[in-house]
Structure 1
Amino acid sequence: MDFPRRALITGITGQDGLYLAELLLSKGYVVFGLVRGQSNPKRELLHRIIPEVKVLTGDLTDVSSLIRVLSIAGPHEVYNLGAISFVGYSWENAALTSDVTALGVLNMLEATRLYAGSDMGKVRFYQASSSEMYGKAQEVPQTERTLLWPRSPYGVAKAFGHHMTINYRESYGMHASSGILFNHESPRRGPEFVTRKVTLAVARIRLGLQETLALGNLDARRDWGFAGDYVDAMWRMLQQPEPDDYVIATGKSHSIRDLLDVAFAAVGISDWSRYVTQDSTLIRPAEVESLIGDASKAHATLGWKPEVDFRSLVSMMVEHDLANQKHLV
């Protein structure tokens, strides 16, 4: 195999893409990032914080553009992180979510297969699967063998991509692995996601910039980890001699109330009840009540374990948002 190693990341402007690019660059990779269109608002962010990434324009809904990008990048590893990833948005735009988050996986797999040609070992492929595929969880905790029962258009789309990745692995001998990642957060998380929505609001409330925070279901429980830890698991999967699927999770579950406890405590507020309101319009049409993952397989095979715990993660995010909002005071 030629050196240095070359990697192509779709969805590179998201939190996972940014952390993964930094990790791969630190390991000496040449990193290419797929960006959709010239007007992508996050393109400038990518250039500013990780200028070493080589940006290529393409679209997960256009196979021909993906084949062109692959021929330019010449990657040894492809990380397919691109998706419409906000679950709530998927009910409003189920068709678009399906086109990008489901069929986009098929397009990327097919483009990679065509690029690799008869040498299926030429490229190793990672698919970003999701714990949202479990939805109405049939067992606790969830493992790689737990029945998928998605409860959102996003979860359904991710399940399609997950099974398609397995199909390409079994049909064509592709080194294609899926990481079933449970919720993972960071200061780079978009403000539409509940964790960042909370930490940003807490920072603004502490600084006097905001009075209240509206949320939906406060009793929903998730297995939350740090995105910077989880991208290391992605890389480890593609270093294995055989492709496989792995649950990546902390194995610990927390409710939205727990999230509020830790976030408000980080700014010295012990009783958050007077700052938080419940808005029924923010409750999902089909709720996922509780998710918790069993990452035993990843521990044993990949040698991977999370390093940042829940309290440290939330405090990190609050501190970041405090620092970023202070100039508005």
Structure 2
Amino acid sequence: MQMSAKAGILLVIILILVPAVAAEDSLEWYTRGQNAATVGNYADAVTYYNNALSLDPSYASAFAGKAVALNALGQYSEALDAANQALAIRTSTDAQDAMAYALFKLGRYDEAVAAYVNFTATVTNHADAYCNLASSYVQTGNPDAALKAYAQCANLDPHNADTWNQIGLVYMSQDKYTEALDAFNHATQETTKSAEIWNNKGLALAALGRYQDALDCFNAALTISPVYADAEKNKESVMGKSQVYQVTGSPTPTKAPWVLGGGTSPATVPTTAAAQTAVNVTESLPAGTIAVTATETQVATKTTYTPLSSIGALTAIVVAGIVFAGAKRRKN
């Protein structure tokens, strides 16, 4: 009888515990995954999403959440697989965004463009998506489309200095230095603590021939980052260009390439040996090399006259008098 009582108590305990275990269904695991991802616990989030998928292999939202978490962990190939599995079940903007981002980070820029175009056709208020679309356009050699996408990004997030910096760099690649300077001005209005932005602004000013302003920008970059090698080289390149020089003759200078990307190109050599030589400006970009040009105008030589001294003037008057008197005697 005592054994029967113990068995009954054990059965009650089992009956209480079993529903509690069963209650952890796919929805609850998915919710745990969402909560973990919200606070940045992406590894735990992946575990919870996998638990949900083990209970419901067709749980599209769990696949999408897993894709987002894997992207955050830098596991882009796995994220792309999860996003594709989600989209194979049903359309999901979260999965579309995750797929586009994974393609972008994997360097598959043509596919990223298509994915982001598809995503932004539905979600029109996602600034990062437009910026990533613009960056993908840059990588595929379509700067005009990139500028349009960056404009949409800046419209949604006008205080993002990096967006304005990227806009400026695209304009620099098109030799549109005034537009580039305007973009860099926006960037420095949003932050004064980026050495890269000050350096890029200096390059735009140098390309416009505003060397003293460019020098100020390079100095600002070096104040922030004293070991910024590109800014130091650029500063050395424009040193003295704001001064007025007198040269012999009227040389016709050629265009000197201003190379962005760390390379150094040959300096301009004007047609006369005494003429001043143009100097190059270099800077580093995270992706690719962009060449732009600037022209340096030579200053014509001024002719200088030296006035006669007082002794020279007196001598000239005496000689003129003697000549005049001699001429008068011969006439008489």
TM-score, with structure 2 as normaliser? 0.25
Structure number with the higher strand fraction is: 1
Structure number with the higher helix fraction is: 2
TM-score, with structure 1 as normaliser? 0.25
Asked which structure has the greater RCO (Cα within 8 Å, sep 6+), the reply is 1
| Greater gyration radius | 2
